[in-house]
Amino acid sequence: MLEMKSEPIKLPAGETQLIQITDAALADTARRSGNWLVCKPGCTPCCIGVFAIDQLDAARLEHGLRELTISDPERAEAVMERARQSVKRLSEGFPGDSQTGLLDPAQEELFAGFANDEPCAALDPATGLCDLYQSRPMTCRVFGPPVRSEQGLGVCELCYHGATEEQIAACEMPVSPLAEQLLEEFEQSSGRHGRTLVAFALGS
């Protein structure tokens, strides 16, 4: 049986506000998107394959797991066991420090093709649902709708079939600058820096 860390690290004061802003933006985008946005419970392609999370995401997951340990110990234990097994599989060839779970920015090219078939440890394989949905990383919260990045406007490959570029652009989901601000504050106050993976946040 895995043990929880003694005390979860404190989340920044604006964390609740950030989640509320992001969830409201998603709801508005979903309203504008209509049937083009096909994301729904049980749709799991975006839960397969690892992706980098920041330290605020990791801390949020830790809090969510602690809450789940109190409300549903059996389910929490299943999450931790999946995370532990995932860490074992990911440690070989890990593009970073497999002891800390921190990714090495210099190995970014290796990460692009790393563990693309690895399921997220928070994903319940029996239900296809996220066991830590309320505490999921920001990447998960904005994935699916049109979101702007340095590469342009990106959407889930399963969504917006038949929509024109103009129609997709009209559904763009804004990302609050508060996310970057809180991450910077959190890194300074906690001393945690660098990016990691969900499995390492939950299973180490």
pLDDT (tens digit, 9 = 90+) per residue, 70-114? 999 999 999 999 999 999 999 999 999 999 999 999 998 888 889
Predicted confidence (pLDDT) at residue 151 exceeds the cutoff of 90: no
- What's the confidence (pLDDT) of residue 110? 83
- What's the confidence (pLDDT) of residue 1? 41
- What's the confidence (pLDDT) of residue 2? 43
| Mean pLDDT computed over every residue of the chain | 93
Total-model pTM: 0.91
Task: Report the pLDDT averaged over residues 45-58.
Answer: 96
d(CA 187, CA 115): 27
Predicted confidence (pLDDT) at residue 138 exceeds the cutoff of 50: yes
Predicted confidence (pLDDT) at residue 33 exceeds the cutoff of 70: yes
d(CA 75, CA 70): 10
d(CA 164, CA 169): 9
Long-range contacts, 143-152 (Cβ 8 Å, 24+): 143/39, 143/46, 144/37, 144/39, 144/46, 145/26, 145/29, 145/30, 145/33, 145/37, 145/171, 145/172, 145/173, 146/29, 146/171, 146/172, 146/173, 147/172, 147/173, 147/175, 148/172, 148/175
